[in-house]
Amino acid sequence: MPSPRCLLVLAALIVSATAIVPPGQQGLSNALPDSTTTSTTDNESIVQTADQINQKSGAPSDAPPNAPVPPTTVTAIDGTIINTTIADASAGTRRRGIGHLGKRQSGYTQIFAGLPPNEHDASIEGTAYLTYTVVPNSTYNVQACLDFCDSVDGCEFVNLYYEFNNPLLDFVFSQQSNLKCAAYGDIHNATEKTNFGGQALYPQVGNETVPLTYITQSSGWAADSLIDPTTPDGYQLVFGPTDGANNAPGYMGFAFIDRYDVSACAALCNGRGADPAGGVCQYFNIWRALVDGIPTTYTCSLYYIPADSSTAVNFGQGDLAVTLSRGYKRLSVLPDGGFEGYTACDDFCFTASYSNWIGTSSLGGDFDASIFFYPPYARTGHGSGLLGAAFGDDALSGTLAPAAPLRTEVGKTYVVQAFVANDFSGGVEEANAFVVILWNGQKVGEVTGFQSYTPVQATVTATGNDLLSFTGGAAPAWSFLDDISVFGVLE
Ligand SMILES: *[C@@H]1O[C@H](CO)[C@@H](O)[C@H](O)[C@H]1NC(C)=O
Ligand SMILES: *[C@@H]1O[C@H](CO)[C@@H](O)[C@H](O)[C@H]1NC(C)=O
Ligand SMILES: *[C@@H]1O[C@H](CO)[C@@H](O)[C@H](O)[C@H]1NC(C)=O
Ligand SMILES: *[C@@H]1O[C@H](CO)[C@@H](O)[C@H](O)[C@H]1NC(C)=O
Ligand SMILES: *[C@@H]1O[C@H](CO)[C@@H](O)[C@H](O)[C@H]1NC(C)=O
């Protein structure tokens, strides 16, 4: 039978075990262990979908020349084959580099020659078909076709050939020429000459045999240098081009698009719904799939964790090869959103402010907003922000704000994302936790109640030099913030 003295000691122990040591005294968090799992690139689904997709086409026989290049099309999303245009995905940030819309300085190389004039030939059916024209047919007018390529945004290759027995070319279209010049955004070779014509386009007259279309002298010409894509607004090239696709964590899914269009991938990343645990898309990997050496599709893989070349190790499998792989990271206009710039110690320390962030307490409050160097409190790295009195000696809220206004573009839309943890003191004590996101003093978002690190987003419009801040905390209902970003959204 324990003595009364022993019972007292036991009771004291129980009390101290449940007492919460505040963050300012390096208390242990009552947070649940992080149980979120992140998926990595699903290369099997990508390969399976690539086997089913058909993005190959050529100049139509029943449509007039000089149609505008259609917008980039999404042909599959997360393994489902679809056919949707990206609503002017690349408006304002066309992929064309300077120097091309004028005259391409480098020339063109013949990839394959046509067959002799008296033999039937075939035109290309390949990926990234853009548009076609007809060029004067008094001679086999290669130069006019190359000039046409120069004038078409994204043209990398042209296929020049005669098409016979097409009444539209012979009589209807004003150009009066059957010498067709088809422009593509990718380079194709003679193994892709699969359109032999054979269409009955002339009307039936009496019992006469309708002449079938046929093709002669089909040659292919490629630009000597592939255009370096323009980096989309709000992104940074991380690596590439290489022959390795990312096999990386934080994978959100993939889309196939009908040409190598970096801006289209950026639009897909910007438009992708946030992952409940990982947040918004922060990185994409674009690459071209060759199947048996033939361009087959263009993949955008989306990630909520920025990747780099160290995981760009998927070179393909079976008959599929990865080529022209590039990684792009989304840029935040908020410097040091992870509080990693606070490095006053190498184990445990905290401060009300440092060069990148300013913490402000309520009137009469004490350390109601602070920045910690302590990896156990951080979501990533060693830094995190704390709202609520660091020593637990008042229940007032604090405010954390970047030290400088944000370098935003007036009128542009941004998405603010922060990871917020309201779990330090456990479910009961954290029930009243709250964090309010303010944009130029206006409330644009809010998080309340117990939660482990979870992303929260707010969409805002910039007025230039915008002021972002986070207010909250009511110790012992503390709130930790980490990995805060402000990403531009393409319009
Ligand atoms: C995609 O849709 C457009 C417009 O509806 C249509 O013209 C085109 O033929 C379709 N393409 C495919 C491959 O289904
Ligand atoms: C040029 O094209 C027109 C229209 O198709 C055709 O009538 C004519 O025979 C062609 N000329 C040559 C030299 O192929
Ligand atoms: C086609 O019709 C004409 C009369 O309309 C006839 O004289 C001729 O033999 C026919 N030719 C064939 C191949 O049937
Ligand atoms: C043309 O395509 C075939 C098909 O696989 C490929 O083997 C060949 O290397 C290609 N030729 C050139 C010059 O790229
Ligand atoms: C594709 O991913 C699987 C794991 O999901 C891996 O075993 C395989 O090696 C990958 N293929 C390539 C070519 O990287």
Which string of DSSP letters, residue by residue, matches 252-301?
EEEEEESS--HHHHHHHHHHSPPBTTTBS--EEEEEEEEETTEEEEEEEE
In this predicted model, which residue has the larger pLDDT, 228 or 302?
302
Nearest bound ligand to the CA of residue 135: 2
Same domain, 214 and 349: no
Q: Is 280 within a domain? A: no
Domain total in the chain = 2
Secondary structure of residue 172 in the 3-state scheme: helix
- Cα separation, 61 vs 84, in Å, equals 23
Record the tokens describing residue 249, joined without a space.
Answer: 């964590």
Q: Contact at 8 Å (CB) between 406 and 466?
A: yes
Nearest one of 436, 434, 435, 444 to 466, comparing CA atoms? 444
Contact 163, 61 (CB under 8 A): yes
When pLDDT is averaged across residues 261-288 and rounded to a whole number, the result is 96
Among left, alpha and beta (phi > 0; psi -120 to 50; other), residue 316 is left
* Pocket flag, ligand 4, residue 211 (CB < 6 Å): no
| Continuous segment of H or E residues that includes residue 161 | strand 157-164
Q: By C-alpha distance, which of 490, 44, 50, 48 is closest to 257? A: 50
Between 16 and 355, name the one with better pLDDT: 355
Give residue-wise pLDDT tens across range 107-136. 999 999 999 999 999 999 999 999 999 999
- pLDDT at residue 97 tops 70: no
Encode burial over 384-416: b for 16+ CB neighbours within 10 A, e otherwise: bbbbbbbebebbbbbbbbbeeebebeeebebbb
In this structure, the answer to whether residues 204 and 340 fall within a common structural domain is no
Nearest ligand atom owner, CA of 84: 1
User: For residue 37, what pLDDT is reported?
Assistant: 81
Ligand 3 binding pocket mutation candidate from 204, 207, 209, 210 (most atoms within 8 A of CB): 207
Categorize the per-residue pLDDT at 448 as very low, low, confident or very high, splitting at 50, 70 and 90: very high
Q: Give the residue, by CA position, lying nearest to ligand 5 atom 3.
A: 43
Average pLDDT over residues 385-397: 97
Give the whole-angstrom CA distance, residue 143 versus residue 149.
10
CA-nearest residue for atom 6, ligand 4, is 293
The H-or-E segment that residue 110 falls in is strand 108-112
Whether 310 lines ligand 3, by a CB cut-off of 6 Å, is: no
The residue type found at 380 is: T
Interatomic CA distance for residues 160 and 427, integer angstroms:
71
Q: In this structure, what CATH number is given to the domain that contains residue 418? A: 2.60.120.260
* pLDDT of 445 strictly over 80: yes
Measured in Å, residue 95 CA sits from the centre of ligand 1 at: 23
Residue 480 lies in a domain: yes
Expressed in angstroms and rounded, the spacing between residue 260 Cα and the centre of ligand 5 is 24
422 with 450: CB under 8 angstroms? Answer: yes
| Residues in Cβ contact with 216 at an 8 Å cutoff, skipping those fewer than 6 apart | 114, 115, 117, 118, 119, 120, 121, 161, 162, 164
Query: Which pLDDT does position 227 carry in this prediction?
Result: 78
In a domain, 121, yes or no: yes
Asked which of 223, 240, 257 is the last residue of a domain, the reply is 223
DSSP letter for 230, please.
P
Q: Does the C-beta of 207 come closer than 6 Å to ligand 3?
A: yes
- The answer to whether 386 touches 392, Cβ cutoff 8 Å, is no
Q: Which two tokens stand for residue 410?
A: 């007036």
User: What is the extent of the structural domain holding 120?
Assistant: 96-223
Rounded to 5 degrees, what are φ and ψ at 258?
Answer: -85, 0
Q: Is residue 42's pLDDT more than 70?
A: yes
Whether 243 has a pLDDT exceeding 60, the answer reads yes
Q: How would residue 89 be classed by pLDDT, with cut points 50, 70 and 90?
A: very low
Does any domain span residue 257?
no
For residue 411, is it within any domain?
yes
Q: Which residues form ligand 5's pocket by a CB distance below 6 Å?
A: 43, 247, 314, 316-317
Q: Which two tokens stand for residue 103?
A: 């005259």
Predicted confidence (pLDDT) at residue 491 exceeds the cutoff of 90: no
pTM greater than 0.75: yes
| Residue where one domain finishes, among candidates 223, 251, 279 | 223
Statement: residue 231 has pLDDT above 60: yes
**CA dist., res. 389 & res. 477, Å (int):** 9
Q: Is residue 393 part of a domain?
A: yes
The reply to whether 391 falls in a domain is: yes
The domain boundary, picked from 168, 199, 223, lies at 223
**Preceding omega of 116 cis (within 30 degrees of 0):** no
| Residue 9: per-residue pLDDT | 40
pLDDT cut 70: percent of the chain above it: 92
Q: Calculate mean pLDDT across residues 352-368.
A: 97
Q: How confident is the model at residue 15 (pLDDT cuts 50, 70, 90)?
A: very low
Distance, CA of 351 to CA of 454 (rounded, Å): 24
pLDDT of residue 18: 59
> How many CA within 13 A on the CB side of residue 314?
24
- 213: in domain: yes
pLDDT (0 to 100) of residue 105: 52
Q: What is the mean pLDDT of the chain?
A: 91
Q: Which atom of ligand 5 is nearest to the CA of 43?
A: 1
Q: What is the percent of the chain with per-residue pLDDT over 90, rounded to a whole number?
A: 85
Distance CA 246, CA 238 (A): 12
Is the pLDDT assigned to residue 38 strictly greater than 90? no
216 and 341 inside one domain: no
Residues 349 and 216 in one domain: no
First to last CA, the chain: 76
